[in-house]
Structure 1
Amino acid sequence: MTTSDTNRVKLSQWDALMLESLRAHGWSEEELLRRIHAGELPRDESKFQFDYAQLTASAKNEPAVFEAAVYNGYQIKFNTLRGTASWILLALGEEAELSLEPGQESISVRLSREDRDRLASTLSYGWVIHEEGSGADGGKPVYRIEPLNRS
């Protein structure tokens, strides 16, 4: 975890995923921080098999940075395609569709504008979000998330 020159808190993608998986327990921010610092965390039975001891260690190394991430949000240092899709599932509760065709890698997902804005604020530099169309019958629009530059 680090902060940039603009004091924007940054987390590793893995720390962000673990944090979002713990938010699903519905704890207050204070309780979440207390449990993380104390190492009083449940065993993860999800497909991710998170080892929350790593999150506790990260939080102990930089407690002020970690607390700012919990209270004020964060940006992920470096996103991957699958990691971003996992973040969308854990943080926003939406199943994203991956396109893994070489040169056309992207993620498609229906999101509310609020969720789209939250995603945009967490993505690392080099990612873009395109609206693919308004939601059918007033529903959520479809967004395509992709790397800005492909090698």
Structure 2
Amino acid sequence: MSSSDKSKAKLSQWDALMLESLNAYGWSKEERLRRIHASELPQDESKFKFDYKLLTVAAASDPATFEDAVHNGYQIKFSTLRGISSWLLLALGEEAELSLEPGQESVSAKLTVEERDRLASTLSYGWVIHGEHTGAADEKSAYRIEPLNRL
């Protein structure tokens, strides 16, 4: 982890997923923050069934951290396999493949260099991304995300 990552705002995985889901509305960062603080958020009809009131509560409990996360990115406090898969779908529009076989747990996805870098900066400590990028930076390559240490 680089020193710049240490100063990133930290969000719970669920708050990060809710925040990413709001990107679908095309709101600017300022409009998103205004709506979150004013609790003027839509009813989520996705498979996630997010309760955006919880996002409003999280933003109110630590406004500076939350605003920093919206403006400058964030790191998830604790990532899970299914959470990473959901984040890839919501943040990058990428359907991931889960491997849940004991001892081989991982998430596989095809990402561009920019998407891979964004994922790497967002994951909590304890995860590693395997794979080498082939081709142009804007072409997708296969990556596997797995726990750094297995029990």
Counterpart position of 1:10: 10
Equivalent position amino acid for 1:24 in 2: A
Q: How far off is 1:7 after superposition?
A: 3.0
Equivalent position amino acid for 2:60 in 1: K
Counterpart position of 2:3: none
Distance 2:90 2:63 in 1: 23
Distance 1:19 1:32 in 2: 9
Counterpart position of 2:118: 118
1:60-89 CA-to-partner distances (Å, cap 9, x unmatched) read: 011110000000000000000000000000
Q: How far off is 1:93 after superposition?
A: 0.4
Q: Does 1:38 align with 2:62?
A: no
Secondary structure of the residue that 2:150 maps to in structure 1?
coil
In the comparison of the two structures, how many residue pairs are matched? Answer: 145
Q: How far off is 1:132 after superposition?
A: 5.7
1:101-123 CA-to-partner distances (Å, cap 9, x unmatched) read: 10000011000000000000000
Distance 2:7 2:90 in 1: 25
Q: Percent identity?
A: 73
Counterpart position of 2:93: 93
Structure 2: give runs of 5+ residues left out of the alignment.
Answer: 1-5
Q: CA contact under 8 A between 1:132 and 1:144: conserved in structure 2?
A: no
Q: CA contact under 8 A between 1:111 and 1:140: conserved in structure 2?
A: yes
Equivalent position amino acid for 1:25 in 2: Y
Structure 1: give runs of 5+ residues left out of the alignment.
Answer: 1-5
Counterpart position of 1:78: 78
Alignment of 1:128-147 (within 5 A): 128-131=128-131, 134=134, 139-147=139-147
Q: CA contact under 8 A between 2:36 and 2:55: conserved in structure 1?
A: yes
Distance 2:95 2:119 in 1: 14
Normalising by structure 1, report the TM-score.
Answer: 0.92
Distance 1:130 1:107 in 2: 10
Counterpart position of 1:28: 28
Distance 2:7 2:128 in 1: 22
Distance 2:132 2:29 in 1: 34
Q: How far off is 1:8 after superposition?
A: 2.1
